[in-house]
Each structure stands twice: as structure tokens, then as C-alpha cells.
């Protein structure tokens, strides 16, 4: 699964574009773009489980995503204060037992 973008063009939509800079042969999905358009958060498979990654917009487009929260984390969302909300999944014997929502606040 890959991440794609479609841009608004007048009253319609442009053609879908693959965001190749952030996609891998693994599962990449659940994108969230910050309000200023400078960060793309996504969930990607890491060591067989979901993990949170962040890509930053550079002068040539989206940069290589960096691992932010490893294993069993996904579905990122940020608020206007920069707080990161995400789901943490608890698995046992390959089955998800529960999912909790966590918040990480910016330091400084």
C-alpha cells in the first residue's frame, strides 16, 4: 500500500500522484499532513509491526521519512500546539488485544 496525493485544481481535482519519496515495498499508509504543509506523518511496517514515521518538506519535495515511534504505533495526528496523538496497539499471539491513544507533547 502506498501514499498518493491529489491536488485541488479549481473546482475539480488533478490526477493522483504517487509520493514516491515516502513509499517503500512495505505497507505505507494513514498519512497526516500538518496544517503548515511542512510535515507528513505516516504509519509504516517496521520489524513486522506498525510504526510512526515523519517526513519533512524540503526544497525538492518530501524527504526520506525518519522513524519517530517504533513498533505497535500508528495513525498519527497533530494539533495546532504541536502535540502528537497516536494509537498504540497491544498484540498477543498475533492478535490485537486493545489499542490506546497516547499524546506526546513538544519540549521547549
Q: Which grid coordinates are listed for 86?
A: 497516536
pLDDT reported for residue 74: 79
- Calculate what percentage of the chain has a pLDDT beyond 70: 99
- For cell 500522484, the residue is 17
Residue 70 main-chain phi, psi, to 5 deg: -90, 150
15 domain residue, yes or no:
no
17 domain residue, yes or no:
no
pLDDT reported for residue 56: 96
Give the tens place of pLDDT for each residue, 52-100. 999 999 999 999 999 988 877 878 888 888 888 888 877 777 777 788 8
Q: Which grid coordinates are listed for 20?
A: 514516491
pTM of this structure: 0.80
Above 80 in pLDDT, residue 23? yes
54 domain residue, yes or no:
yes
Structural domains counted in the chain:
1
What is the residue range of 61's domain?
26-104
Amino acid at each position: 500500500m502506498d501514499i498518493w496525493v491529489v491536488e485541488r485544481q479549481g473546482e475539480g481535482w488533478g490526477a493522483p500522484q504517487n509520493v514516491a519519496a515516502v513509499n517503500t515495498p512495505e505497507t505505507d499508509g494513514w498519512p497526516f499532513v500538518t496544517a503548515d504543509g511542512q510535515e507528513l506523518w505516516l504509519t509504516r511496517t517496521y520489524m513486522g509491526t506498525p510504526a510512526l514515521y515523519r517526513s519533512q518538506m524540503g526544497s525538492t519535495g518530501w524527504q526520506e521519512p525518519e522513524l519517530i515511534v517504533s513498533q505497535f504505533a500508528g495513525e498519527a495526528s497533530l494539533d495546532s500546539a504541536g502535540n502528537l496523538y497516536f494509537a498504540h496497539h497491544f498484540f498477543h499471539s498475533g492478535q490485537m488485544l486493545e489499542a490506546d491513544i497516547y499524546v506526546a507533547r513538544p519540549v521547549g
